[in-house]
Amino acid sequence: MSIAELTSLIHDARNIVAFTGAGVSTESGIPDFRSPGGVWTRYDPRDFTFDRYLESAEVRQNSWKMREDFLAHMPQPNRTHHALALLESRGKLNGVITQNIDDLHQDAGSRNVIEIHGNVRDVTCIGTAPRNGVPAGCGFIERHEWVFEQISAGNLDPICPTCGGFVKTATISFGQAMPSGPMLEASQLVEECDLLLAIGSSLEVFPAAQLPLDAKAAGAVVVIINRDPTDMDPFVDLVLNGEAGEILSRAVH
């Protein structure tokens, strides 16, 4: 399978949707959570479940430290981000559905981005007593600088200034319910596309990983671009293994 085939598919498509995972961000210098140097080599993921976050001030404080580490040297968009933004500007790409939490698609110029796992740059109220992994906040939301200003001022466990509830980075933790709104938007995009590009994802995390299969079932051509093979490779139309930025920058011109 060749990049020429991908170029032809992109040229012929009228409604492309991209589904992106951690492999896109790693090309900007962000290690995925499980790789050497990734977040889970320095923090224990068992401490960052939604319930543990609610129960323990220490867990919340460590969570803010982890986010500060993540945001300390925010990288720039790479060739994949720019290629997708270019396709959107040409009217070929209808949207990006991303598992990533880093805002790099938006930084590159993509406008229709659905963040199904949230965004690390935002902080939101999750309420005083959420149940069953479902946030129950008052609607308060701020950029991440707000919470770091609170911590710098000596408030190591900030609370919502509106209702007194817990505040948390607006990302999806282990044990936290997936937000219904973004998943519904993502499903609608997938059902309408004629070409889905699954880029930089191991396609192992559900329900997000179901989206390429849903696109295939709805009649779309599905392409996987990933450094390593995935379990879904046999079920799609084209698989290209390698660095996503190299492949897309050659296919989109």
Contact 80, 20 (CB under 8 A): yes
Question: How wide is the angle at C-alpha 10 spanned by C-alphas 4 and 15, nearest 5°?
Answer: 165
| Chain center to CA of 220 | 22
200 Cβ contact list (under 8 Å, min separation 6) = 20, 21, 22, 23, 24, 25, 26, 27, 80, 225, 226, 227, 244
- Transcribe 159-198 into DSSP letters: B-TTT--EEEEEEPPBTPPPPHHHHHHHHHHHHH-SEEEE
Rg from Cα positions in the chain: 19
Question: Helix (H, G, I), strand (E, B), or coil: what is residue 199?
Answer: strand
Kindly state the DSSP code that residue 74 receives in the 8-state scheme: -
Token representation of residue 14: 């009228």
What phi and psi values does residue 115 have, to the nearest 5 degrees? -95, 95
Give catalytic residues, as residue numbers: 117
Token representation of residue 242: 């390698």
First to last CA, the chain: 19
